[in-house]
Amino acid sequence: MSRRPLRLLHTSDVHLGSHGYHGAATHHRHCVCPLLAIDALAREHNVDAVLVMGDLFDHARVDETLVTRAFGVLDRFPGVTVLMVGNHDVHDDTSLYRRFGHVVSASDSVFFEELHGSTSELLEGQLVLWGKAMDEHSARYRPLHGVPAHPGDDVWYVVLGHGLHIGDDSVDGAGRSSLITAADIAGTAADYVALGHHHVLTDVSAGGVTAFYSGAPTGYPGGQALVVDLDPEHGVRTTAVPVLVSEACCC
């Protein structure tokens, strides 16, 4: 069996429940406008999967109305939807994903909730994903430690993470929370590493492993996301795309 081309849409740091985009006056507290913009992009680019790499929600005090609305949009994304937590929506004992567990479990989204990491095989086994949920944004949490070996030449292997990239652990990384180093990225031996936390699109590829922060959909100067083509002939190619969040609120 050989690999077939796959196309992913990589986004992160949506921060639903914040008033950080377009000002509090124009967007309601139950606004899911940035997710609707991601949905439009996913359709336009005909993607096989959408990766939401942490901080979907801005804080743990979000209410059920917002969480239900958000998962409603995730569920209508084309292809499969993959969800990681971040430091704003950590998966601790009081996690919003536990409090609204009935919403999460009713969703089709693939939610990476295992604190020691877990693997998911999607798209008829063509796409293998690994990610480790964050319960505490601290130096103890290393998003890319414990990554299993590449599952084989006949599948695409994508590793997920949310944390702070610093090139060299030994220089200024010591003691930093949720640290991701160049050696961590190279050590995954993955086809692609999809990261969240930094709100600006950034190439952090290392050791022949393609790795990116996608940028946030409501980033500055404008929102960005990343189309990732996994192609058996051409390898991994990334294309930055603008995210156009509506000026008028969805609610």
Residue with tokens 């509506």: 246
Number of residues written out for the chain: 251
Select the binding partner of residue 87 from Mn ion, Zn ion, none (C-beta < 5 to 8 A, by kind).
Answer: Mn ion
Q: Which of 18, 3, 84 is nearest to 219 (CA)?
A: 18
Give the H or E element holding residue 80: strand 80-84
User: Do residues 131 and 124 lie in contact, with contact meaning Cβ atoms separated by under 8 Å?
Assistant: no
**CA–CA gap between residue 28 and residue 106 (Å, rounded):** 25
Candidates 31-39, 56-64, 178-186, 199-207; binding stretch for Zn ion (CB under 5 A)? 31-39
Residue with Cβ nearer Zn ion (31 or 216): 31
The neighbouring-strand residues paired with 120 are: 129
Select the residue interacting with Zn ion from 10, 15, 27, 162 (CB under 5 A).
27
Closer residue to Mn ion in complex, CB, 159/216: 216
92-100, 199-207, 227-235, 242-250 -> range binding Zn ion (CB under 5 A): 242-250
Q: List the structure tokens of 102.
A: 């009935």
Among Zn ion, Mn ion, none, what does residue 66 contact (CB within 5–8 Å per kind)? Answer: none
> Binding of Zn ion at residue 164 (CB under 5 A)?
no
Angstrom distance (rounded) from CA 91 to CA 48: 26
Q: With CB cut-offs between 5 and 8 Å by kind, which of Zn ion, Mn ion, none does residue 27 bind?
A: Zn ion
Nearest residue (CB) to Mn ion, 17 versus 86: 86
Of residues 66 and 133, the one with the C-beta less far from Zn ion: 66
Rounded Cα distance between 153 and 189, Å, is 12
Footprint on this chain of Zn ion (rule: CB under 5 A): 27, 31, 33, 249-250
